[in-house]
Chain A
Amino acid sequence: DAMVIQNPRYQVTQFGKPVTLSCSQTLNHNVMYWYQQKSSQAPKLLFHYYDKDFNNEADTPDNFQSRRPNTSFCFLDIRSPGLGDAAMYLCATSRGIAGSTDTQYFGPGTRLTVL
């Protein structure tokens, strides 16, 4: 059974048209992460939630926002996508923070194309 689910798997949007990506988890984990991964590059952390506490990476553009309405769901909002935002967006969860020994479980990702 899928533990971290992302929808949609593929998203095409137009330059400047807002888009929302969805992540849900059945693991009841405290922490949810959003990563951006461009072709042949490492996943880059955008932000994460520990429960309801939001932690933004210093270099994450303001264009990226996130919401976590409950434990199971987390959303990534891109307010005005640019061509440089085309990437795979990965959601991950863990029971505790990375400073513990907890594993991060990744979803299958959403591939975003910006036209």
Chain B
Amino acid sequence: QQPVQSPQAVILREGEDAVINCSSSKALYSVHWYRQKHGEAPVFLMILLKGGEQKGHEKISASFNEKKQQSSLYLTASQLSYSGTYFCGTVDMNRDDKIIFGKGTRLHILP
């Protein structure tokens, strides 16, 4: 039931690109992406709804393939501020009243 994220951890140099994947065994209604820095609360990045939509905010974008029950988060030309743990959270097609979070992907950006 918990979505599976990959990779578990990524180390990049500033300016490099990264892709974080999130997959579920259940049909999904929506996917939520959050970033959490050490010792801080998770911060909302974006929601993707069924319909295969894509979204973007500056150099961070995401896609959602409902047929494959997968979502991917794309970080382009990474900045030091992108460091943190990225969580995807899924809401299944029953539109259950909760988000189930994956275990997270740790991203570390080196100068």
On A, residues with C-beta under 8 Å from B are: 4, 40-45, 48, 50, 55, 57, 90, 97-99, 101, 103-109
Contact = CB atoms under 8 A, between A and B. Distances in A.
Nearest to A57: B98
A48 B97 contact: yes
Interface of B: 2, 29-30, 32, 34, 40-44, 47, 49, 87, 91, 94-104
A42 B2 contact: yes
A99 B2 CA distance: 16
Nearest to B95: A99
Contacts, number: 59
A83 B98 CA distance: 27
B44 A101 contact: no
Contacts of B49: 101
Contacts of A101: 30, 47, 49
B41 A107 contact: yes
Chain A interface SS verdict (over half): loop
B41 A42 contact: no
Nearest to B46: A103
Contacts of B91: 98-99
Contacts of B95: 97, 99
B87 A42 contact: yes
Contacts of B96: 98-99
Contact of B103 (A4, A42, A90, A99): A42
Nearest to B45: A103
